[in-house]
């Protein structure tokens, strides 16, 4: 009866694995631990991680430039005050003024930012109406949905 059970693939008697199978599994676990100890302190090599920052930076610059131009802007860079770091910006000219298009980001056109610009423009118009009534002159605020810019006209 014992032979019949063994021939069907069931373990005999105590249910323990054969020694060869246990040592094979122990070897694999040991190799995995050794590799982990060797790799973790040095990190994953860049070519395996796919983190090629130079190539991704170029792609981001191309995307930013395309989105900027598609919305009628001119891509440029500006140096942040107090640093030497350059930042990509998209500008547009209305009248004699140059405006930074805040809604153009490295990830594309930001609808939320454009909506906040539109709300700010509406609030500025409302405030201006009260001031114009008092002093007779004022600035006209015009929102441009294609660029997400609130233009100030004198």
Same domain, 32 and 86: no
User: Which residue segment(s) compose the domain that 102 sits in?
Assistant: 53-153
Is the model's pTM score more than 0.75? no
Tens of pLDDT, residues 104-149: 887 888 999 999 999 999 998 888 777 654 555 677 888 999 899 9
Tell me the C-alpha to C-alpha distance, in Å, between residue 77 and each of 27, 99, 121. Answer: 56, 13, 26
* Amino acid 93: pLDDT: 92
- Number of domains making up the chain: 2
What is the helix (H) or strand (E) element at residue 49, kind and residue range? helix 46-49
Same domain, 98 and 146: yes
Same domain, 26 and 88: no
Same domain, 80 and 129: yes
* Amino acid 45: pLDDT: 58
Same domain, 26 and 67: no
């Amino acid at each position: 009866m014992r032979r019949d059970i063994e021939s069907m693939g069931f373990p005999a008697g105590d249910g323990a694995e054969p020694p060869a199978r246990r040592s094979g599994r122990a070897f694999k676990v040991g190799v995995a631990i050794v590799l982990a100890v060797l790799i973790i302190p040095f990190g994953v090599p860049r070519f395996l991680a796919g983190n090629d920052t130079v190539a991704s930076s170029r792609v981001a610059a191309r995307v930013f430039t395309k989105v900027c131009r598609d919305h009628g802007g001119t891509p440029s860079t500006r140096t942040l005050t107090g640093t030497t770091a350059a930042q990509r910006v998209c500008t547009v000219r209305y009248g004699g003024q140059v405006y930074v298009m805040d809604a153009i980001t490295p990830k594309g056109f930001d609808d939320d930012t454009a909506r906040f610009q539109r709300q700010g423009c509406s609030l500025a118009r409302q405030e201006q109406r009260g001031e114009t009534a008092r002093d007779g002159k004022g600035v006209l605020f015009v929102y441009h949905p294609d660029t997400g810019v609130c233009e100030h006209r004198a």
